[in-house]
C-alpha cells in the first residue's frame, strides 16, 4: 500500500514537465484574466491532464519520478531519527514562530487574503498579471486540496506525536475506522509549495521572488517537523506535490493561447485562440 501511494505521488511530481514548449504556439499572460464561465470550466477540465499525465512521460520524467521515490524511501528509513532531532531542539521562540506564523501560513490564513488583494489590485489598476496570479493560485490550491485529501485517506499514517517513541511505520490503510491518522502527506506543506510555485513561476525573471517564495515554503516544511505533526517523508512528498501542481497550472494556462496568422487581400493579422 505504501509503495502504491508513493507511485501516485511520483507522477504528480513530474506532471509539470509534461508541458513541453513544443506543444504550444505562444504564451500570453494578458488574456482570460476574468473570473467567468470559461475559468470555472477549466477548474474541472484541467484536472484530467494531471491524472493521465504518465501516459506522456519520457525518460527524463521517469528519472525524475525515480529520484522522488528514492529520496522518499531514504527519508522514510530516517523518519524516527529526524523526528527525535527536532524534538530535542525545541525553544519558546520557535514555538511562537510556529504558532503565530508558520501554522497559519500553512492553513492559507495569509496567502488567501494576499491573493485576494492581488486580484483586486489587478482589477483596479487594469493589470492582468496580478489577476492571473490569483486565479492560478485558486486553481492550483483546489487541485492540491483534493489530491492531498485523497492520498491522506488512502494511507491514514500516524503522526509523530500520535506514536510511542516516534514509530514512523504505523499505517492504518483505507479501511480504518479511525480517521484521526492522516499524516501522509503534509497538507500544510503542499499548500505552502503550491503558493510558492505559482508565485515563483509567474515572477521567475525577478530572482528574489522565487528565492523568498521557496524559502518560506521550505521553512513551513521544517516547522511541520518541528511541531511533531509530520515526518520528514511527509513534508518531502507534500512539497513535491505542491511544486508540481502549482507549476503545472501556471504553465498550462500560460501556453493555452494559440496564434494563427491571417493573411488576405485586404487584411493581415493574428487570430488568438483560447483552448478550454
> Closest Cα to residue 101, out of 181, 182, 192, 183?
192
Question: Cα separation of 186 and 7, whole Å?
Answer: 17
Domain residues for 77?
A: 2-274
The count of domains in the chain is 1
User: Where are the alpha helices (H) located in the chain, listed in sequence order?
Assistant: 2-14, 37-45, 47-52, 59-87, 92-97, 103-106, 111-125, 128-155, 187-202, 208-226, 232-254
Q: Locate cell 510555485: which residue? A: 197
**Is the distance from CB of 161 to CB of 84 less than 8 angstroms?**
no
Q: pLDDT tens, 71-85?
A: 999 999 999 999 999
**Is the distance from CB of 183 to CB of 160 less than 8 angstroms?**
yes
Q: pLDDT tens, 102-137?
A: 999 999 999 999 999 999 999 999 999 999 999 999
Under 8 Å CB-to-CB from 204, ≥6 apart: which residues?
210
By percentage, how much of the chain surpasses pLDDT 90? 66
DSSP state for residue 268 in the 8-state scheme: E
Angle at 29 between CA 26 and CA 35, to 5 degrees: 125
pTM: 0.83
DSSP letter string, 172-184? --TT-S-TT---S
Amino acid at each position: 500500500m505504501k509503495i502504491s501511494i508513493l507511485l501516485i505521488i511520483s507522477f504528480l511530481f513530474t506532471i509539470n514537465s509534461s508541458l513541453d514548449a513544443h506543444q504550444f504556439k505562444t504564451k500570453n499572460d494578458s488574456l482570460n484574466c476574468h473570473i467567468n464561465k470559461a475559468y470555472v470550466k477549466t477548474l474541472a477540465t484541467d484536472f484530467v491532464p494531471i491524472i493521465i499525465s504518465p501516459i506522456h512521460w519520457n525518460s527524463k520524467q521517469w528519472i525524475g519520478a525515480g529520484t522522488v521515490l528514492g529520496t522518499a524511501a531514504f527519508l522514510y528509513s530516517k523518519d524516527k531519527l529526524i523526528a527525535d532531532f527536532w524534538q530535542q531542539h525545541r525553544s519558546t521562540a520557535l514555538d511562537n514562530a510556529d504558532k503565530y506564523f508558520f501554522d497559519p501560513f500553512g492553513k492559507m490564513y495569509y496567502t488567501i487574503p494576499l491573493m485576494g488583494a492581488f486580484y483586486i489590485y489587478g482589477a483596479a489598476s487594469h493589470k492582468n498579471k496580478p489577476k492571473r496570479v490569483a486565479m492560478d493560485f485558486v486553481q492550483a490550491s483546489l487541485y492540491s486540496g483534493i489530491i492531498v485529501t485523497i492520498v491522506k485517506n488512502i494511507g491514514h499514517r500516524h503522526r509523530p506525536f500520535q506514536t510511542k517513541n516516534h514509530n514512523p511505520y504505523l499505517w492504518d490503510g483505507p479501511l480504518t475506522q479511525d480517521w484521526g491518522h492522516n499524516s501522509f502527506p503534509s497538507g500544510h506543506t503542499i499548500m505552502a509549495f503550491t503558493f510558492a510555485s505559482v508565485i515563483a513561476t509567474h515572477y521567475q525573471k525577478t530572482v528574489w521572488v522565487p528565492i523568498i517564495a521557496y524559502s518560506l515554503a521550505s521553512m513551513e516544511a521544517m516547522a511541520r517537523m518541528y511541531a511533531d505533526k509530520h515526518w520528514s517523508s511527509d513534508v518531502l512528498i507534500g512539497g513535491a506535490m505542491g511544486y508540481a501542481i502549482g507549476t503545472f497550472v501556471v504553465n498550462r494556462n500560460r501556453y493555452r493561447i494559440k496564434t494563427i496568422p491571417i493573411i488576405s487581400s485586404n487584411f493581415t493579422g493574428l487570430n488568438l485562440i483560447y483552448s478550454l
